[in-house]
Amino acid sequence: MLTAKQHELLRFINTRLNDSGVSPSFDEMREALDLKSKSGVHRLISALEERGFIRRLPNRARALEVLKLPESSAPAAAAPRPVVPAAANDTIEIPLHGRIAAGTPIEALQGTEGFAVPAALLGPGEHYALEVSGDSMIEEGILDGDFALIRKADTARDGEIVVALIDNEEATLKTYRREGQTIRLDPANARYEPQRYNESRVSIQGRLAGLIRRY
């Protein structure tokens, strides 16, 4: 038996996966459930995981899979299935545009070399890779040295992790929020403050589509 909050969170995660194929961020889950802190979200997710309703997919940011809903022990019908890695030789080479700051913005998208990615990790659209520099997105599971797979896009919705270009010079990886004519770029580390810019200074260069970590 799930608590009311556990049931509410499970429904919210399942709806977002069905709508966009991307798990909601911890901030979005906290706001949707009217919780005071993300620690409450962590506890609810752990409880759902222990009861077999969801599971976290390893080495991918914001990756949750709904296994079943309360009404049935069968898998949730519309929830996306985990990505099955392609064969070792089934790869696609995408551009690698240097390092992207997950902390302070850095000079944007310098250098272009090839980066081989398993084809199964990429969905539709045009993609490129960026090496993450910094620790300001660690609460979203994005660590220094990870490779962010970015789907090219020039728009974003609140709560999506994006590559934002500031003043056509500096790029940063942050969670996107709009506040009237101001764009707020949120870190996922309590040590860092949100960055706010007039909308005319910010252009979206893509949305986070996946993550690759080398050990």
Task: With beta carbons less than 8 A apart as the criterion, state whether 163 and 100 touch.
Answer: yes
Q: Which residues are catalytic?
A: 136, 174
